[in-house]
Each structure stands twice: as C-alpha cells, then as structure tokens.
A and B are shown apart, each in its own frame.
Chain A
Amino acid sequence: MRITQGCFSFLPDLNDEQINKQVEYILGKEWAVSLEYTDDPHPRNTYWEMWGHPMFDLRDAKGVMMELDECRKAHPESYIRIQAFDNTRGFETVMMSFIVNRPEVEPTFHMQRTDVDGRSQRYAWDARR
C-alpha cells in the first residue's frame, strides 16, 4: 500500500532534482534540515530514527543530498523523510516534512478488532509486510 505522509504526499514521488529544489527552499527560509528513516510507517510512529545530526548551518542543498545518498545506501528498504525545523522563538517546530525514499514493496496495514466490555469493539492497526 502506498504510504502518504507529510507534504506532497498526493504527488508522484519527487525526483532528486525536485528534492534539491525543495531543500534550497528550506535553506532559503533558514530552517534546519534533518533526515530521518524508519521501517514502520504507521502514522502514530512520530519518532523516526535520526540519520546524523540536524544540519543547522548549511548554505547549499548539496550537503543534504550527500547525506541522503548515504542514507539511501545504508537503508534502501526504509522510508526516509526530510524535515525542516524552524528554530525561531515562537515556532520551534517542524515546518516541512516529506518522504524522499520508500521501499520497493510497501507494507500493508492490518486491522485488529478486539471485543471489550460486552459488544464494544476496539480497533488497532499495524504495518505488516
């Protein structure tokens, strides 16, 4: 199942040139860029693994693209996302987040029904390969 998360999620996957332009936009806004990866794309899985430190003082997108290449080499079968963090007072939050790598075969979501308290049901989803 194709996972949609973050910005541009209903567009076809961005190619490297387009990613490069988005990163240039992020740097132009003076946001910090970071890479994160995971094999569990569940929407409740907020905290992905960090790939290196957030990059606070880059001037050119090439630095991010180099890290992305390294990350793809190390985790080709993972979801990788680029995040832009605005550290100005009052925001201090992620301003942009988009997926830049997805596995060849994406996991599906499995729904688990549990009966509780008589006829009530609880639902839970988990990503399954």
Chain B
Amino acid sequence: MVEGTVQTVDLAAEYEASGVREVLEELDRELIGLAPVKQRIRETAALLLVDKARREMGLSQETPTLHMSFTGNPGTGKTTVARMMAGLLHRLGYVRKGHLVSVTRDDLVGQYIGHTAPKTKEVLKRAMGGVLFIDEAYYLYKPDNERDYGQEAIEILLQVMENNRDDLVVIMAGYADRMDRFFAANPGFRSRIAHHIDFPDYSDDELLRISQSMLEGQSYVFDPEAEAAMAEYIAMRRMQPHFANARSIRNALDRVRLRQANRLFSESKGPLDAMALSTITAADVRASRVFQGGLDVDRMREAAE
C-alpha cells in the first residue's frame, strides 16, 4: 500500500458528501415513469462512486470510460436525463464544470472542404469540462455518400473521446434501430461507449401524469371531465403519426391553453376569478383535431394511399 493513501472508505458518507443523493432524488421527483432508466442511472452512480473510492485508495488509476448512448423514441426524456447526468458526473468529480452542450449534425459538420474540423473543434472546446450531447448522432454518418464531411467529424470525435477522457463525456442519442446501425458501421464508437441506456416509451397513464405535472408547473388544473378527455386524447394521439411522447403532450397542452384563453375571452361577461382563469375544461381538450382523426394533411395523405 502506498504511503499517504486512504486506508478505509465509508461509502455511505461518500454518497452523502458527494451530493449524488440530491441528483438521484431530483431524478425520481422530476421524471415520471422511466423506471429502467432510473435503475441504470442508479447503478452507474454506484459504480462511479465505488470507482472513485478505489482510485482514492490507489487501487486503480485509469479514468473509466464514461461515454454513453441514449436510445429511445423522441420525447422520452433523453435530453433531460443527459442534463441530470452532467450534474451527477460533476458531483462525482468526473467532469470539472458539469455543463451540457447539446448539438446536432449541423453544429459539427461543415459545408465545404476544411470547414468541418474547425467547426467540430469549436464545439469540443466549448464542451470541455462538461458533457457533449449529440442528438440524432447517426446523421453524422451517411453511408451513401463516401465524400460526406460527417466522416471527418467522426474521426475528430473518436480521437477526443479517447485522448480527453478526463476532460469531457460524450453522450450520443437517437432512435434505437438507427443508433444500432450507426454503431455497426462505426465500430470505433461502439468500443468507446461503455453505457447504453434504452429509454422506453411512456404508457398512457404516465403521459397523463406528465400532462398534469406540466399543467401544475404553469398553474393550471384539469377539471374531472377534462382529465378524462385528456386520457382519451393520449390514447388516440398515440395511434396517429408523428407521436413524440412527452413532447406531443407539451404541444397539445400549449394548444389547449390557447383554446381555453379563447373560450374565456369570447364567453365570459363578468369578472373572472383565479379558478376560472386556471381551469381547463373538457371542451378545451375535445376541440383538438386529434378527435376528428388527426391533422388534415395526414388524413389527405392516408386517403391518397
């Protein structure tokens, strides 16, 4: 045993001191559903905590590979979880600043020869000391065009992921099947990414709870009929195209609030109390086009087919 190293470790005390508990509690509180994701994050946190203790004892020197891939359908909370992950890694001391830089292909890949490398490096410099979140990472790789500049960005990314493991963590996100194809075509990424976390779709019940908490955050409430209408809405919306889980719900609620404001404006004669201003009724929800079978453009396309 090297002189000056710690001899024993109290994991519970470490856990308390690092502030990991707050992040995990925040995760439980703010995210509805996503049980497998939460489980994986708790496991990852435990692993990192133990690894940190091992390093303090001098049992290992290597920084563990922390790059991750988040796969799942749109609106399943990948960006939100990435932000919490950044906080978690910061508290455990694996990244120095703990900020999240969220980018897509456009931010990394240039338009002409010699444009890509500076652009990618610019983004990497900004992400140093934090987490780089690459949304829809598979767009970086376009197999049908071998002169695509995405390849250049991939090479720079791989190099930094290997050489600057102490400085930044890369999280790649996207649809599961397309990510799988992307990793199959770029084995370099597969071997450098240690944690694959799959985000399941929300159930109808979870989406209803999400819609309630979203409204709560904006100081609105459903009346009982509106809640039933919303549950129906969610079930119908899921069947229609471009369904994006929580994001669809957020957009739907924005439109519901619009209709509520419109209704109050046209119907009310006298003064309104706070309750009236913040109650969503069934009529506001049921006016949605989802109840008539979706958007006109989608129905027209279906009819044409």
Report which A residues bind B (CB closer than 8 A): 52, 55, 57-64, 66-67
CA–CA, A52 and B37, complex, Å: 41
CB-based nearest A residue for B118 = A52
Q: CB-CB < 8 A to B96: which residues of A?
A: 60, 62
CB-based nearest B residue for A65 = B128
**16 extra interchain contacts, Cβ-Cβ under 8 A, other than A52-B118, A62-B125?**
A59-B97, A59-B99, A59-B126, A59-B128, A59-B129, A60-B97, A60-B129, A60-B167, A61-B129, A62-B96, A62-B128, A62-B164, A62-B167, A63-B124, A66-B125, A67-B125
Q: CB-CB < 8 A to B121: which residues of A?
A: 66
Q: CB-CB < 8 A to B167: which residues of A?
A: 60, 62
CA–CA, A85 and B180, complex, Å: 45
Cβ distance A25 to chain B, nearest Cβ, rounded Å = 15
CB-based nearest B residue for A60 = B129
CB contact list, B118-174 vs A, under 8 A: 118, 121, 124-126, 128-130, 164, 167
CA–CA, A59 and B118, complex, Å: 18
Can you give 6 contacting A-B residue pairs, CB < 8 Å?
A58-B125, A60-B97, A60-B129, A62-B164, A63-B125, A63-B128
Q: CB-CB < 8 A to A52: which residues of B?
A: 118
Q: CB-CB < 8 A to A61: which residues of B?
A: 129
Q: Give the most central of A52, A59, A67: most B CB within 10 Å.
A: A59
A-B contact count (CB 8 A): 34
Cβ distance A29 to chain B, nearest Cβ, rounded Å = 15
Q: Is the interface of B mostly helix, strand, loop or mixed?
A: loop
Cβ distance B262 to chain A, nearest Cβ, rounded Å = 41
CA–CA, A66 and B97, complex, Å: 17
Band of interface residues on B: 10 to 19
Q: CB-CB < 8 A to B164: which residues of A?
A: 62
Q: CB-CB < 8 A to B124: which residues of A?
A: 63
Q: CB-CB < 8 A to B99: which residues of A?
A: 59
Chain B 61-76 interface mask (CB, 8 Å, partner A; 1/0): 0000000000000000
CB-based nearest B residue for A59 = B97
The 9 closest A-B pairs by CB, nearest first: A60-B129, A63-B125, A62-B128, A60-B128, A63-B128, A59-B97, A62-B167, A60-B97, A59-B99
CA–CA, A66 and B129, complex, Å: 13
Q: CB-CB < 8 A to A60: which residues of B?
A: 96-97, 128-130, 167
A57 and B126 in contact (CB under 8 A), knowing A62-B164, A62-B167?
yes
Q: CB-CB < 8 A to B97: which residues of A?
A: 59-60
Q: CB-CB < 8 A to B128: which residues of A?
A: 58-60, 62-63, 66
CB-based nearest B residue for A55 = B125
CA–CA, A57 and B103, complex, Å: 14
Q: CB-CB < 8 A to B129: which residues of A?
A: 59-62
Cβ distance A45 to chain B, nearest Cβ, rounded Å = 27
CA–CA, A57 and B118, complex, Å: 15
